Amino acid sequence: MPAEKKQMIFSSPKKSGSPASQVSSPPWKVLIVDDEPIIHSVTELVLRDFKFENRSLKLLSAYSGREAKRILEDEDDLAVALVDVVMEEDDSGLKLIQWIREVLNNHSIRLILRTGQPGVAPEKDIIHRYEINDYKEKTELTDIKLLTSLTVAIRGYRDLLDIQRNQSGFVRILEGAGKFWQYNNECLLLDEILRQFSRLFTKKGTGEGRCDCCALIYKTGELLVNSGTGTYEEAKGKRLSELDEGEVSRIIEQYNHREAFFYKKPYLVCSLETRQESNMYLFMRSDIQLDKTNQNILGAFLVNSSLAMDYWLVTAHKTRSQKNMLIFLSEVIEHHFMENGNHVKRVSEMMYLISTRMGIPREKAELWKMASILHDMGKIGIPDHILKKPGKLSSEEFEIMKTHAVIGYKLLSTNKDEFFPDAADIALSHHEKWNGNGYPNGVAGEAIPLPARILSVIDVFDALTHKRVYKDAWSVEKAVNYIRENRAVDFDPQVVDSFLDILPELQRMVNEYPD
């Protein structure tokens, strides 16, 4: 595991012995509305053995229009109502039907009007005015006709419900699809896919959908929880084996990518199979009815999710290649003036850590991380005798050195794509100071772009704690004290505070990229 990759096929579970076929279906709910108790008794007698698609009936009784309204407000999945016209008033049934359609706004329930006084309710007028699905006089409603009318009504309700569910499911998929393309981080994208997956078979606009779901990634020989809802909400980063979910692991082994999804009550396992990977799963623990409609919706959702994940993987590969090229270019520049290339790696990682600590969204922090790699791009325009000078620069030489900020800005500002505008700002302003005594433009405070203010702290800290041709390395303690002393002088106070808050994490990261 993961299994050899196969073409994505959305097939339903096998009919023979299928777990989906073993799920007991709830009965069809039918409301009888009539003020004559004998009508209720006869109707119940005729329908006692009625079944449609292997589902029996659940009969509910109301003896007035007011009583029927209460039941209709409590039961939102009634399939059919058999409604008498004359009850408390001569038109009680008609008023009830009008209320169902116009006030309750229920257009799914099938309405069969029954009357013992046909002269009171002309058939043609009623059907057109009140959206009635069938009309019968009580004298003609024999047991066969009642069974036939009810079969036709339930079939219509089922078909209408399937259409509504399909429409709702696909609308939900389309509405959620736009969110998939907003992420440039694998974990964030999987989080969004899981959020939509957990709500896929719940009613839109309700508080439902917090079922037990998780997104799983197969890494280093084990299934890891990327994110979860319900009982798995706190399981992020844990191994599936830690959660005592042996049954889930066995199901995934049994499933093994033969189909796009596999349901063994109460477990639904789905694959997010892409052209690049086949080691991602969505898992749900729920007593859903995985009928044909839900299978169609689930299949479309998985196709859409897999395409989004596939696009991200391709984009991520491109981004990694682009980042590696930028690091390589920056290392060439650093080595050219005899500094160690890991400086740019450390700077970029610290940029991300401090940015996220300050509340910058991870997507933007990723862009700043890339942009920071090019902060010293302008040094390619500085003469070697200045770049490589082992001692202190003269005032004239320092003025030339300072031009690297403007040179870098001019080089990077010609490109308006992705992170280049931020890279240009960083290159220009990372030597500006909070009090306005920096260069090249002497701007102060929040007029300095925030990523440049962050890089100012990072660049100084890294330069102080590592050996250069013109200086020995300082201790971390001495460098940190220097940054503290220059808080609100050279450096943005909030950036310094964030830097100090995560100093241990920054030091661990620095140790990963030693000179």
Q: Which residues are catalytic?
A: 379
Kindly tell me the sign of the dihedral angle through the C-alpha atoms of 174, 175, 176, 179: positive
Longest dimension (CA), the chain: 113
Distance, CA of 36 to CA of 84 (rounded, Å):
9
Q: How far is CA 514 from CA 161, 324, 463, 467, 506, in A?
A: 63, 18, 13, 11, 13
Helix segments in 337-449, DSSP class H: 342-357, 362-372, 384-387, 395-402, 404-412, 420-429
Tokens encoding 479 = 């460098």
Q: How far is CA 268 from the centre of its chain?
A: 18
Tokens encoding 503 = 């100093």
Compute the CA torsion angle 373, 376, 378, 380 (nearest 10 deg): -100
In terms of phi and psi (left: phi > 0; alpha: psi -120 to 50; beta: otherwise), the region of 220 is: left
Kindly tell me the sign of the dihedral angle through the C-alpha atoms of 88, 93, 97, 100: positive
Tokens encoding 31 = 């409301």
Helix axes 65-74, 92-102, angle to 10 degrees: 20
**Burial class of residue 83, CB neighbours in 10 A (0-12, 13-18, 19+):** buried
Q: Hey, is 495 helix, strand or coil?
A: helix
In terms of phi and psi (left: phi > 0; alpha: psi -120 to 50; beta: otherwise), the region of 274 is: beta
Are 489 and 435 within 8 A, CB to CB?
A: yes
Q: Which of 198, 369, 353, 167 is nearest to 270 (CA)?
A: 198
Residue with tokens 């292997």: 54
